[in-house]
Amino acid sequence: MATRNVAAVDLGASSGRVLLARFDGRQVSLEEVHRFPNRPVVLQGHRFWNILALWDETLTGLRKARYVAGTLESIGVDTWAIDYGLVDARGFLLGQPFQYRDHRTDGMMEQVFARVPRDVLYQRTGIQFLPFNTLFQLYAQEQMQPGELAHAYRLLLIPDLLHSWLCGSQTSERTNATTTQCWDPVAGAWATDLLEQLAIPTSMLPPVVEAGTVLGEVVPEWRDDLGAARVVAPATHDTGSAIAAAPAGLSGGWGYISSGTWSLVGVELPRPIMTAEALAANFTNEGGVFGTTRLLKNVMGLWLLQECQRRWAQEGHVTDYDTLLADVDAVPPFAALIDPDDARFLAPDNMPEAINVYLTEHGQAQLSAPAAFARCVMESLVLRYREVFRQIRALTGTAITTVHVLGGGARNTRLNQWLADALDVPVI
């Protein structure tokens, strides 16, 4: 058979890449043809995604993929969850998409709970309460810019927005829609009544499609660059795609960590768990491919170390990642530990300083050497992962016998070996 060529756009919170996948009838080969940074823009005290730069880099990567392959059969985009763009009926943006770490959502959860109780929200959506969830972003936007949402024709999550620019489709893929805390996983529909209780317009909510749906062909504007490739919705939440690719069956006993800027720690189940115990432990039930549920918890992840490196670079001390990880062996174990999910670490101006303030408040010595910060972050993450897997066992009754690590963090061999030691199970 003729080789089939597919381009995959994978955008993460700190970088993006375009891959060319080729299938010759026997095996799939993958080639990264383009990689680029993803940096938010700060303007008037708010954080935005530079969505036009991401679009430009996406097109650059897709052009490269077509040049290498000759022709592309299909294109699909996945990104992080939660964030969105508002568009009019022609697909034009109504303002720049906010970044989820923007402080406009500060205090919004409490305001929402005053109108819709926390337990009611969980019983309907089954989603972990995080201040940047789409629901709280929408509520914050309505408070900050009254009437803005009513002018939108469609709310499109970031991968859906890019798909719309590629082929004109204005839909949302289900695995990502479930992350918004605006979706009822039992009814399989948007929880419009909850949004209406919060005075959030619902006419902007798009139709929802399953992963694998053909959204359309590349629009004429980009045909000379990309050909007439079909645009196909993958699991547009990057974690949904990652878990679908894990080399494991649907039977229990295995867990996963989608390890990157965030660490999503969980298991795949046939149905959601939305019990009082799951609410108390603040677990999330996100949609998986083929109708599964990804029961998981969001842990702060390697963002902690990335932000330390960014701060050191600003101060003129550039730290090579591989060298930094090698240097942790010289640091005494468990000399300093933090709670990675402490709210102060969500979006600090100075991550090393925030870590040291935490250590001081908890009776621990402050750190100075980059390797000491790295060891502190990594050991703290391992202990947090172990605690989350213990909670999962309590909720599901199933012991974890294998953990699959996916994403950029899979290359951090020290972190993964420490995790295997802490759990006493194979980490793959």
Tell whether domain 4-236 is in CATH 3.40.50.720: no
Average pLDDT over all residues of the chain: 96
pLDDT of residue 320: 86
Q: Which of 258, 305, 283 is nearest to 81 (CA)?
A: 258
Residues 6+ apart with CB under 8 A from 295: 266, 267, 268, 269, 272, 273, 278, 283, 284, 285, 392, 395, 396
Cβ pair 352, 312 in contact under 8 A: yes
Q: Which of 11, 5, 19, 7 is nearest to 162 (CA)?
A: 11
CA distance linking residue 112 with residue 321, whole number of Å? 40
Percent of the chain whose pLDDT exceeds 70: 99
pLDDT of residue 168 exceeding 90, the answer is: yes
Each residue of 232-242: pLDDT tens digit? 999 999 999 99
Q: Which of 270, 219, 212 is nearest to 236 (CA)?
A: 212
pLDDT of residue 92 exceeding 70, the answer is: yes
Q: Which of 269, 246, 301 is nearest to 393 (CA)?
A: 269
The reply to whether 4-236 and 245-428 are identical in fold is yes
pLDDT of residue 162: 99
- Secondary structure of the chain as H, E, C letters: CCCEEEEEEEECCCEEEEEEEEECCCCEEEEEEEEEECCCEEECCEEECCHHHHHHHHHHHHHHHHHHHCCCCEEEEEECCCCEEEECCCCCECCCCECCCCHHHCCHHHHHHHHCCHHHHHHHHCCCCCCCCHHHHHHHHHHHCCCCHHHCCEEEEHHHHHHHHHHCCCCEEHHHHHHHCCEECCCCEECHHHHHHCCCCCCCCCCEECCCCEEEECCHHHHHHHCCCEEECCCCEHHHHHHHCCCCCCCCCEEEEEECCCEEEEEEECCCCCCHHHHHCCCEEEECHHHCEEEEEEECCCHHHHHHHHHHHHCCCCCCHHHHHHHHHHCCCCCCCCCCCCHHHCCCCCHHHHHHHHHHHCCCCCCCCHHHHHHHHHHHHHHHHHHHHHHHHHHHCCCCCEEEEECHHHHCHHHHHHHHHHHCCCEC
Cβ pair 402, 424 in contact under 8 A: no
Residue type, 167: C
Each residue of 11-55: pLDDT tens digit? 999 899 999 999 999 999 999 999 999 999 999 999 999 999 999
At 319, is the pLDDT very low, low, confident or very high (cuts 50, 70, 90)? confident
pLDDT of residue 60 exceeding 70, the answer is: yes
* Whole-structure pTM value: 0.91
Counting every residue written for the chain, the total comes to 428
pLDDT of residue 253: 87
pLDDT of residue 199: 97
Residues 6+ apart with CB under 8 A from 235: 78, 173, 175, 176, 211, 241, 244, 288, 289
Each residue of 341-369: pLDDT tens digit? 999 999 999 999 999 999 999 999 999 99
CATH architecture of the domain covering 245-428: 2-Layer Sandwich (3.30)
Domain ranges of the chain: 4-236, 245-428
CA distance linking residue 20 with residue 395, whole number of Å? 40
Catalytic annotation, residues: 238
From the number of C-beta atoms within 10 Å of its C-beta (0-12, 13-18, 19+), residue 263 rates as: buried
